[in-house]
Structure 1
Amino acid sequence: MGRASAARDVRRLLEAGLRIPYAGPEGIGRTEQALWEVERLAARLSRRHGRLRFLGMLAVTVQRGVGELARLTGRSPEDIAAEHTGFCPDRGLREWMAEVMSAPAGAAWSPPPADAPIDPAMALVHLHVTVCLALCCATDR
């Protein structure tokens, strides 16, 4: 699989993630179904493109969003990471997500913990959604 194909799949996954909050009037069941579909897509695309390579491409997108949010709000990437990783009860995964978010776009980061309770790609999709929502709020001010 080439880089263009991987980039297309990253966009596809992140766009699917952005649809989760808007699953519609069907309620919780529909949102839960959308979440499972995105999680299955994340796992499939991670296998297709190589887990760390795919995570790296997702991470760059999240890092760019964090950088833009930091620029707009005057907050540090570390503060933003602390706010956006609080959903995760697993300390190792939370610290890994904070490391990824605090690094400049494209910077190296440690591999995710092997025993993470959720797929690291799914964790990055979640961070992308929350950062996008925060960017929308920041630009509305």
Structure 2
Amino acid sequence: MRLAIGSDHVGLELKPIIIDYLQELGHEVVDFGPYSGERADYPSYGKKVAEEVAAGKFDLGVLICGTGVGISIAANKVKGIRAVVCSEPYSAKLSRQHNNTNILAFGARVIGPELAKMIVKEWLEAEFEGGRHAKRVDMIKAMETGENS
């Protein structure tokens, strides 16, 4: 899979660990920054990764900030993005199976590297189940375009 990754300055230490892990799993990873420890605004990086995923240039995206919340909110402002914040593997897995999430976010101040790896692995291995869940994802898509469902 081709994955986009980004963070803010808080996620900078965890990001290379996750990049290495994703590459070990056989994925191609492109880092959208930041690349230094200077203060970085999470909305900029959340938006950039989300735009790349929404445009179909990447299969999925991973975002890291202090809690995962701010950067996921920014990503979710991009049409076609269903970003989820997860601090444990079960929700990550179900977010893909039931909600067809296309961006995973987590917090470097909330979880450590090993838990982050478990979350990423469960999320990547899960597949959208469709069926009754497809109707709900379609409802979310319709909300983005202003259609009533």
Q: TM-score range by the shorter chain?
A: under 0.3
Normalising by structure 1, report the TM-score.
Answer: 0.26
Normalising by structure 2, report the TM-score.
Answer: 0.25
The structure whose residues are more often strand, as a share, is: 2
The structure whose residues are more often helix, as a share, is: 1
